[in-house]
Every structure is written in C-alpha cells, then in structure tokens.
C-alpha cells in the first residue's frame, strides 16, 4: 500500500532520503536564468552544467534539489491532459563524477518501493537500446522482471532528447525512465513506448551524462565521446509522483493544487467536478479551471523571481500565460479582472517551501491585475485585426490557417472567437494551415525551451580554456594572449580587415556585461601594431569571456596581443556605478528599508535604477535624495572592495540582490568607513566618491505596477550637463534682462514655453519682441516693467499673460476697423454676368473676423456673392460666400476658393455656400 503523503511531505522525504545517501541538499536555482540560451530553468541539472564538465567549483560531488522549473513547449496541453504543467517542481539527485548507474538505479528502486511503498508490480522501466549496462543492473541486480522493461531509442532514452541526431553538442547521455501503470489490467502489448493514451506516466528520469556529443556525424549520428566522468542527473516530477501516491489520475487533483483550484472557483464562481467524464461540459470547465490554476501559479513564481509581463524573453512568456488565463476566465463567463485574487492561494499552498513567494505576492497580484485590464483592450483590437483580414482576403470558403494561428499566438486571440466570426460569414479556418503553423511554432518553442547546451568553437572550447581570469578591476590595459579567434562560429587562424570576429583572451582587462553594467569597449593590438581589433561587446558565457568586434586594420591572428580598454567610457561607467549604490542607499534612507533594487542599468551616459515603491516620488523626496548623494560625494569617501565569505558579508549588512545566485565567496563594495553603503557587486567602481563629482536625477517615472524608475547622471556627464545648463540659463537670463538666472528653473521654463532646451533662447527672444511690438500698438510700457522683477519663469509667465491680453485687444481693434469698411464694400458692388459680387480686402483680420464681416454683408445683400481676403504677417486668409440661388449656375464657394487659393500659393475648400482658404 503506497504511503498517503502530501506533496510537501514527499518533497521532504525525497531530499532527506538522498541527503542520507551523502547528497548535499542544495537550494533551487531561480526560475529566471541569466543563461543566454534559455529563458527559464528547465531542469534540475541546469545549475550544475559546469560540474558535469569538471569545471565547477562546488565543494561537493553529490547533490539533491527540488528545482523550480518552467517549460512552455507543451503549453497547449496544459489543463487538457492530466499531467502537463508550465511551472513544475523537479526532484533530482546528482553525481559529479561520483556514484554512477548502479547506485542511482538501486536508490531509485529503494525510494519508490521502500520509502513510498509503491506497488512494484505497477512499475515499468525503459532503457536505451545501446545501454546494456543499465539493462543488466535492472534485470540482474534489482531483479526487475524483463517483461516490464522496454528498450527505446534516442528520442525517448537519451537526454537531451534526440541529441545524437539533432544536437545540441555537449554533455549528454542515455537515460532510464521509470513509469507507473495506471491500468495494470489494461490490454496486453501496450507498453510505455507505444501507449496511445495516458495509461503510463513517466515518474522519474535517470540520466547518465557520460558522453560529450560532438562532431563529426557518421550515418546521421554525432560521435559520442566518453567524457571520462561518471555523472548522474535524475529528475522526477513532484506533481506526478504526488498524483501516483495519492491515488489520483490527474495531477491537478492532488493536494498541491486543491487550495489553488478552490480559489480559482471562488473568484470565478465556477464549480470543479473531480472525475468528470471526458467530453462532458463539466470536464470542459474543469480544464479551464486547471489551466487558470497552472498559469497563475507559474506567473506568481516567475514574478517572485524577478520577471514582469513584457514583450520579450521571460517577460513575454509571463504575459502570454496571463493572457491565456484571462481568455479562460472569459469562457467561464466573467468579464472583470479576477486572476490576481488567486495569488494568495498560491502563497498558501507553496509559500512555506518558497519564501520568495509571500515576499512578492503583492507585486505579483498588482502586475497580474494590470495585465488583465490591458489584455481586455487588446482583445478588442484583435477583433479589428480580424475584420481587416476578412476585408482583404482572397475569395473562397477557407480562411488562411496561418493567419488564424498568428492571431491566436501573437495577439492572444482565441480560436473559438475567430471561428464564431468566420461562421457568420460561412467561412472556416483552413485546418491544414493551422496545424502546420502550430507544428512550426511548437518546433521553435521546443528548441528554445529545453535546450540547455549550445555550440560554437568558443563554447565548445569552454572545457579546455576554463574560466577567463579578469584583471580589469585594476588594469585598463595589459599584455595578454589571444587564445581563440572565431569567425561565424568556426575557429580561424587569421581574420582580415573588416571581418566581424569573436575571441577569447587570457587574461582579459575587458569587463563583460553583467550586474547591470554595460560591457567595456576598446582595442586589441597585434605585436608591433600588426593589426587592430575594435572591441564593441564583451559577454560572459558561463566562465568564458567572449569579446566581439571588427578587425579594423591588418590581419588578426591568435597569439600575444596588447588589450586596451577605452578609459573614458570605463571611467564614466564606474562613476555611474558607484552613484547607483549611493542612490540605492539614499532611497532606503528617505523612503524606508523596504526599498529593494528591482533592476539597474549602468552605462557611460546615465544610470537607471528600478525599485519597489507604491507612489511617485515628490520633488522634496527627490531633492533630499540628490542632496544626500551630493553630501557623500563632497565627503570624498573611499570605496573599498573586499572578497569575503558570504556569511561575513551578510553580517556586515551587505545588500544582496533578490533572486541572484551567489557563491560562497562574494565581492563586496563598501563606501566609507564605517560604510554608508555596502553591496555585493562584481562591477567597476571609482576609488573615492570625489570621482563621482556630481549627481543629478533627470527623471522619476513608473516602470511597472509598484515599481518606480529613476534616471540619473553622475561624473563628467553630470558636470558637462551642469556647465551647459549654466550657459543656457545665462543666455536666457540675458534675453529677459536677468543677470543671475537659476539654472534649476530651466525645466519649468521649457515647460512654460513648450520648447526643447535648444529652442529656449530663440523662443524667448520672439516672445520679448512681440511683447514690445504690442506695447507700441497700445502705447504701453508694460513689457519693460515686467522684465524688472522675478526669476526666469516668473518673467516669462508675466510676458505670456501680457502678450495674450494685448493680442486680443489688437484683434478687437482690427475687427472694428474691418466692420467700418462694410459700407464701402457695399457701395463698390460689381455686376459680373448678372451676378452681384462684393469684394473686400483687409489687413490683420483672421478667418473668424472675415466670417463676421461676410455675415454682415450677406445680411445686407442676400443675393450677392462675397469674396474677402486679408493679409496678416505675410499670411493670407480667404473667404468665399455664394448664396444657394447661384449654385445651379455653376457658381460654388468651394470651387471658387480653390482657384483663388492656388493663386496665393495655398489650399482650402468647403461647402458650395461657404468656403475658406489660407
């Protein structure tokens, strides 16, 4: 009889069992990776990649974890099948050249049959066709009946799946999978390799990564070189094992999901019916509820590890998951945002195992709610898009399947809604096209999703080259060795001028992008100046630093080189990086210690800092922050870097980044003694805060729900900007007669004038000139008076009000003068081909003034056509009025004005009775 265990008990039992076998209990890596090849952690082994290659620096050779994983390649199946998830937990045990197949298989057997007390008769095992060793261990040493063993090929029993034929190159190995049989009395002849349904579930994958999958390919398969290391990587889905243990058929019916499902039902007012027959309306509804539960759970974990709904990378997956869940809510008949209400249940169910969840629950709920609202308006746009497609499509009864799938995949537009709309027009989706697009999409997302290894000459050489030593904290140039030169992924001995290259140096003074700090740029020079490579990017691929650039002259080749970092760029970047730490500290001092960094970007031009805070920062808060940082700069505090054991660093109060992985030894950056700021950081800093020179907040804005962003400048950039502003303020002051203008007023001044900084001076001059001119018109000296008092903004606002007032006066004056001409125009009426024509010419009268005069003329002579023109500051305004009685004779105001307007080089038009031009 299997043990009735909760999922939490199972998690502990597994980790305890392997701890007793000498495996170190290691924490889960974050869900979001900094690995460029994959968005999410997809397997327990991901954080141990280096260890398999013998490059890792962990102090143990056996480990056990419960790893948070996310896979989106099977997303279309989630909720529909009993055992697909996006987010899931993988129980794993790992050996790094320590225990091997014998122990792995024996311990898996012991855990399943002794600890969990699963019925051995219901277990099945698969082994790779080439792996006699594993087969013999199962059959002879364990005594597992061969009748329940199957041999399968690369797609089922190799990991990464199919690697011998399709890559990726790198570590891999045969695996042996353990299955549970849900229907032991089911038809004979059905086994895990040919199961047409859900009879068998794979509960544990034992991988033996003993090979390096490498070129060349012979007969369609890559070479499998022995790594010379006996590694073990096993993965067991916690949800699946819990399902088997709890005697359920569906993972979602385990205790792990019950709390979450109950909450989905509560917020959507829907009912979940466990065990509803497939095809029934209850089961359809169940599937929706399960999918909502899965997606909110996954999104909550992703947000807890730092993701946010965006349009790229992991953020895009988060966005899609929320959107799919919104569509399901829609189908349950609810129109209001409600998904955020499920987050607390995820916390209840899993918060004690994953403390990051409760810490980020409010933020997760806020981000989800905002996304829900936005998506509802996107849905309305999707409808427009479909309408447009329908208007321009080729005739025929089928609607392009690829387009329908794109609407669904890209815009999140549900297929059923598309079908309903097509139905109204007696159209249907071209199914073959849809299937093809869906298959292509699956292939792409699969290849992006579960690949853990990539290949190029440089990444293949990682084991040989080892991690790159970095000397750039102290040295900006150095005599080093160019150890591998790569063009288009292949190693080369030479690369001519103009070629884009990637290369590794040993050691390197170039800082690789990381920790929010941009990569160094610079040059690599060959011996005696034989060649120059301009370095434009530097990235870290695990330990290896990969430089990218272009050969600027000569012929680049491996060997000794002189590497020189662009000093100005580095100096400006370092000033911004130290300023970022000071800003972080000042934010905590002004807003409270709950402020945590949510992201940062440090480059030579500016810094960007994101942090959690519910409201906009006030001007006063911003000023206090600026002053605080300014004070630390004036105090000329030394910046001290130290490498300490992590516990000691934490004891000193070092700020660590949430969700970041740290080793046992960490680099700390402390400002002042005792420190005013201390952070764990691998970036580049100035040696003393005096080098930060100045600090200025340029903008404070919203970045996401509950997250604010500050854009600021420091160092020479801030100094240069301050000088530029002093100059601009003086120039503006001069126009306004102010000798000591305050540059801090420039922003408000720009706003008052709705002008860019470079336009300010010209705008001011025009304003003052106009004010003087208007003064003359009404014989006033107000402008001179206004330019005697106040600062920049006060003077400008005074002038603006003054000009506005006088413009109005001038207009009234001109309108009165125009009206005075009415009698003269009537007296000068002409008869042209039996039509009375009234023509008037004015100056300084605008379109509105012309219409008033025109109306007066029409009142006096209703049968006459009227043409009026006015000139103001070199611009013409025209008006034509033609009474309806004249329209049948071909005389129309619109046509008339058109030909007149062309004569003055303008355009216009209007109705037959009235038209205007300028």
Q: Which is nearer to ligand SER, 205 or 308 (CB)?
A: 205
Exposure string of 316-354, with b = 16+ CB inside 10 Å and e = fewer, is ebbbbbbbbbbbbbbbbebeebbbbbbbbbbbebbbeeb
Give Cα 69 to chain centroid, integer Å: 19
Among 30, 79, 82, 92, binds ligand SER (CB under 6 A): 92
Q: Least CB distance from residue 108 to ligand SER, whole Å?
A: 12
Among 43, 260, 317, 735, binds ligand SER (CB under 6 A): 43
Closest residue to bound ligand SER by CB: 235
Among 30, 44, 168, 412, binds ligand SER (CB under 6 A): 44
Q: Which is nearer to ligand SER, 38 or 668 (CB)?
A: 38
Q: Tell me which stretch binds ligand SER (CB under 6 A): 7-15, 43-51, 375-383, 581-589.
A: 43-51
Asked if residue 41 binds ligand SER (CB under 6 A), the reply is no
Asked if residue 170 binds ligand SER (CB under 6 A), the reply is no
Among 5, 23, 31, 207, binds ligand SER (CB under 6 A): 207
CA distances from 275 to 180, 446, 663, 740 (A): 19, 31, 47, 81
d(CA 830, CA 531): 86
Among 235, 412, 414, 675, binds ligand SER (CB under 6 A): 235
Q: Which is nearer to ligand SER, 24 or 821 (CB)?
A: 24
Asked if residue 107 binds ligand SER (CB under 6 A), the reply is no
Q: Least CB distance from residue 92 to ligand SER, whole Å?
A: 5
Comparing C-alpha atoms, which of 812, 882, 822 is closest to residue 845? Answer: 812
Q: Which bin fits 712, alpha (ψ -120 to 50), beta or left (φ > 0)?
A: beta
Comparing C-alpha atoms, which of 751, 758, 754 is closest to residue 732? Answer: 758
Q: Least CB distance from residue 17 to ligand SER, whole Å?
A: 16
Q: Is 464 exposed, middle or buried (0-12, 13-18, 19+ CB in 10 A)?
A: exposed
Q: Least CB distance from residue 608 to ligand SER, whole Å?
A: 36
CA distances from 230 to 48, 152, 171 (A): 14, 22, 11
Q: Which is nearer to ligand SER, 111 or 159 (CB)?
A: 159
Token pair 């309108």 is found at 815
Site string for ligand SER, 839-878 (x = CB under 6 A): ----------------------------------------
d(CA 601, CA 607): 6
What distance, in Å, lies between the first and last C-alpha atoms of the chain? Answer: 93
Q: Judge whether 229 and 97 are in contact, CB under 8 Å.
A: yes
Q: Which is nearer to ligand SER, 111 or 510 (CB)?
A: 111
Q: Which is nearer to ligand SER, 161 or 190 (CB)?
A: 161
Structure tokens at 341: 């209400």
Q: Treating both helix axes as pointing N-terminal to C-terminal, what angle do 401-410 and 431-449 enclose, rounded to 10 degrees?
A: 40
Q: Which is nearer to ligand SER, 243 or 866 (CB)?
A: 243
List the helix and strand counts (H, then E) for the chain.
Answer: 28, 32
Asked if residue 159 binds ligand SER (CB under 6 A), the reply is yes
d(CA 512, CA 569): 14
Q: Which is nearer to ligand SER, 91 or 404 (CB)?
A: 91
Asked if residue 625 binds ligand SER (CB under 6 A), the reply is no
Asked if residue 45 binds ligand SER (CB under 6 A), the reply is yes
365-404 residues in contact with ligand SER (CB under 6 A) are none
Give kind and range of the element (H or E) at residue 349.
helix 343-350
R_g of the chain computed on alpha carbons: 37
Q: Least CB distance from residue 299 to ligand SER, whole Å?
A: 22
Q: Least CB distance from residue 243 to ligand SER, whole Å?
A: 17
Comparing C-alpha atoms, which of 257, 368, 272, 286 is closest to residue 321? Answer: 368
Q: Tell me which stretch binds ligand SER (CB under 6 A): 37-45, 124-132, 186-194, 731-739.
A: 37-45
Report how many residues bind ligand SER under the rule CB under 6 A. 10
Q: Which is nearer to ligand SER, 233 or 745 (CB)?
A: 233
DSSP letters, 815-882, are HHHHHTTHHHHHHT-EEETTEEEEEEEEES--HHHHHHHHHHHHHH-TTSEEEEEEEETTEEEEEEE-
Q: Tell me which stretch binds ligand SER (CB under 6 A): 228-236, 261-269, 787-795, 830-838.
A: 228-236
Q: Tell me which stretch binds ligand SER (CB under 6 A): 231-239, 331-339, 388-396, 627-635.
A: 231-239
Q: Least CB distance from residue 96 to ligand SER, whole Å?
A: 14
Q: Least CB distance from residue 453 to ligand SER, whole Å?
A: 11
Q: Least CB distance from residue 438 to ligand SER, whole Å?
A: 24
> Quick check: helix, strand or coil at residue 219?
coil
Q: Write the DSSP symbol of residue 141.
A: I
How many Cβ atoms sit within 10 Å of the Cβ of residue 846?
16
Asked if residue 472 binds ligand SER (CB under 6 A), the reply is no
Q: Which bin fits 556, alpha (ψ -120 to 50), beta or left (φ > 0)?
A: beta
For 353, how many CA atoms within 13 A lie in the half-sphere containing its CB? 20
Q: Which is nearer to ligand SER, 52 or 109 (CB)?
A: 52
Which phi and psi (to 5°) does residue 23 adopt? -85, 135
Q: Write the DSSP symbol of residue 494.
A: -
Asked if residue 176 binds ligand SER (CB under 6 A), the reply is no
Q: Tell me which stretch binds ligand SER (CB under 6 A): 79-87, 164-172, 187-195, 232-240.
A: 232-240
Q: Tell me which stretch binds ligand SER (CB under 6 A): 20-28, 40-48, 116-124, 355-363.
A: 40-48
Contacts of 682 (CB under 8 A, 6+ apart): 514, 515, 667
Q: Tell me which stretch binds ligand SER (CB under 6 A): 39-47, 400-408, 674-682, 907-915.
A: 39-47
Q: Judge whether 301 and 357 are in contact, CB under 8 Å.
A: yes
For 174, how many CA atoms within 13 A lie in the half-sphere containing its CB? 19
Q: Least CB distance from residue 500 to ligand SER, whole Å?
A: 35
Q: Least CB distance from residue 52 to ligand SER, whole Å?
A: 11
Site string for ligand SER, 49-88 (x = CB under 6 A): ----------------------------------------
Q: Tell me which stretch binds ligand SER (CB under 6 A): 233-241, 535-543, 690-698, 757-765.
A: 233-241
Q: Which is nearer to ligand SER, 235 or 683 (CB)?
A: 235
Q: Which is nearer to ligand SER, 49 or 324 (CB)?
A: 49
Site string for ligand SER, 426-465 (x = CB under 6 A): ----------------------------------------
Asked if residue 234 binds ligand SER (CB under 6 A), the reply is yes
Q: Which is nearer to ligand SER, 71 or 613 (CB)?
A: 71
Among 154, 233, 253, 566, binds ligand SER (CB under 6 A): 233
d(CA 234, CA 84): 19
Q: Which is nearer to ligand SER, 88 or 434 (CB)?
A: 88
Asked if residue 174 binds ligand SER (CB under 6 A), the reply is no
Q: Treating both helix axes as pointing N-terminal to C-terminal, what angle do 281-304 and 343-350 enclose, rounded to 10 degrees?
A: 70
Token pair 């099977």 is found at 74
Q: Which is nearer to ligand SER, 95 or 892 (CB)?
A: 95
- Contacts with ligand SER, residue ranges (CB under 6 A): 43-45, 92, 159, 205, 207, 233-235
């Amino acid at each position: 009889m299997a043990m009735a265990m909760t999922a939490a008990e199972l998690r502990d039992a597994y980790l305890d069992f392997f701890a007793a076998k000498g495996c170190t209990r290691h924490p889960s890596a974050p869900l979001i990776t900094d690995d460029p090849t994959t968005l999410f952690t997809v397997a327990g082994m991901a954080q141990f990649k280096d260890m398999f290659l013998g490059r890792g620096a962990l102090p143990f050779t056996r480990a056990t974890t419960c790893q948070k994983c996310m896979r989106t390649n099977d997303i279309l199946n989630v909720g529909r099948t009993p055992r697909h998830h996006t987010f899931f937990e993988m129980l794993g045990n790992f050996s790094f050249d320590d225990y091997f197949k014998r122990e792995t298989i024996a311990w898996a057997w012991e855990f399943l049959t002794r600890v969990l007390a699963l019925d051995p008769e219901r277990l099945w095992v698969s082994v790779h066709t080439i792996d006699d060793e594993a087969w013999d261990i199962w059959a002879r040493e364990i005594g597992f009946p061969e009748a329940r063993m199957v041999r399968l090929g690369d797609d089922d029993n190799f990991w990464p799946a199919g690697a011998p034929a399709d890559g990726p190159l790198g570590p891999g190995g045969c695996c042996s999978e353990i299955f549970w049989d849900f229907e032991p009395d089911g038809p004979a002849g059905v086994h895990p390799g040919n199961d047409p349904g859900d009879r068998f579930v794979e509960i544990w994958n034992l991988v033996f990564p003993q090979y390096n999958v490498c070129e060349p390919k012979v007969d369609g398969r890559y070479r499998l070189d022995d790594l010379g290391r006996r590694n073990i990587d096993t993965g067991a889905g916690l949800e699946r094992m819990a399902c088997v243990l709890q005697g359920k058929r569906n993972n979602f019916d385990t205790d792990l999901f019950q709390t979450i499902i109950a909450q989905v039902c509560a917020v959507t007012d829907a009912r979940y019916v466990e065990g509803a027959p497939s095809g029934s309306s209850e089961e359809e509804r169940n599937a929706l509820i399960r999918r909502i539960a899965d997606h909110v759970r996954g999104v909550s974990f992703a947000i807890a590890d730092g993701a946010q709904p965006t349009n790229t990378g992991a953020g895009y997956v988060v966005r899609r998951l929320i959107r799919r869940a919104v569509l399901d809510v829609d189908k349950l008949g609810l129109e209001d945002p409600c998904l955020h209400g499920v987050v607390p249940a995820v916390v209840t169910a899993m918060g004690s195992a994953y403390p990051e969840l409760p810490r980020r629950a409010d933020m997760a709920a806020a981000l989800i709610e905002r996304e829900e609202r936005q998506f509802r308006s996107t849905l309305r746009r999707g409808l427009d898009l479909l309408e447009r497609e329908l208007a321009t499509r080729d005739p025929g009864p089928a609607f392009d399947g690829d387009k329908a799938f794109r609407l669904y995949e890209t815009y999140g537009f549900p297929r059923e809604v598309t079908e309903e709309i097509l139905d109204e027009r007696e159209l249907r989706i071209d199914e073959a096209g849809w299937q093809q697009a869906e298959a292509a999409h699956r292939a792409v997302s699969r290849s992006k999703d579960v690949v853990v290894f990539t290949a190029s000459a440089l990444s293949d050489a990682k084991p040989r080259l080892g991690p790159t030593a970095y000397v750039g904290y102290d040295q900006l140039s150095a005599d080093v060795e160019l150890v591998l030169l790569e063009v288009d992924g292949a190693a080369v001995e030479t690369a001519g001028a103009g070629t884009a290259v990637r290369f590794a140096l040993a050691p390197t003074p170039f800082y690789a992008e990381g920790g929010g700090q941009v990569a160094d740029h610079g040059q690599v020079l060959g011996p005696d100046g034989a060649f120059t490579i301009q370095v434009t990017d530097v990235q870290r691929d695990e330990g290896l630093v990969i430089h990218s650039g272009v050969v600027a002259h000569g012929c680049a080749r491996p060997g000794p080189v002189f590497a020189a970092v662009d000093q100005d760029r580095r100096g400006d970047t370092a000033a911004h990086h130290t300023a970022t730490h000071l800003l972080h500290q000042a934010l905590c001092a002004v807003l409270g210690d709950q402020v945590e960094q949510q992201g940062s970007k440090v480059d030579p031009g500016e810094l960007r800092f994101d942090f959690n805070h519910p409201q906009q920062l006030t001007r006063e808060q911003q000023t206090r922050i600026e002053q605080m940082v300014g004070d630390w700069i004036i105090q000329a505090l030394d910046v001290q870097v130290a490498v300490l054991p992590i516990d000691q660093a934490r004891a000193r109060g070092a700020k660590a980044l949430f969700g970041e992985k740290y080793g046992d030894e960490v680099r700390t950056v402390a400002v002042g003694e005792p420190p005013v700021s201390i952070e764990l950081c691998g970036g580049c800093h100035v040696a003393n805060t005096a080098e930060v020179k100045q600090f200025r907040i340029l903008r404070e804005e919203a970045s996401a729900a509950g997250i604010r962003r500050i854009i600021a400048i420091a160092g020479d950039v801030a100094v240069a900007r301050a000088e530029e502003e002093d100059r601009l303020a003086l120039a503006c002051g001069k126009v306004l007669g102010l000798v000591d203008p305050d540059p801090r007023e420039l922003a408000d001044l720009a706003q008052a004038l709705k002008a860019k900084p470079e336009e300010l001076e010209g705008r001011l001059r025009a304003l003052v000139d106009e004010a003087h001119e208007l003064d003359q018109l009404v014989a006033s000296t107000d402008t001179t008076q206004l330019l005697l008092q106040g600062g920049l903004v006060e003077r400008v606002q005074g002038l603006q009000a003054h000009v506005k007032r006088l413009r109005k006066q001038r207009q009234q004056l001109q309108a009165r003068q125009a009206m005075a001409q009415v009698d003269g125009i009537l007296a000068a009426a002409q008869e042209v081909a039996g039509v009375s024509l009234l023509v008037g010419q004015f100056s300084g009268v605008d379109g509105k003034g012309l219409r008033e005069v025109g109306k007066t003329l029409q009142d006096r002579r209703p049968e006459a056509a009227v043409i009026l023109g006015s000139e103001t500051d070199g611009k013409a305004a025209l008006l034509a009025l033609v009474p309806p009685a004249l329209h049948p004779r071909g005389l129309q105001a619109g046509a008339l004005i058109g030909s007149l307007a062309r004569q003055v080089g303008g355009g216009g038009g209007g109705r037959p009775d009235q038209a205007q031009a300028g």
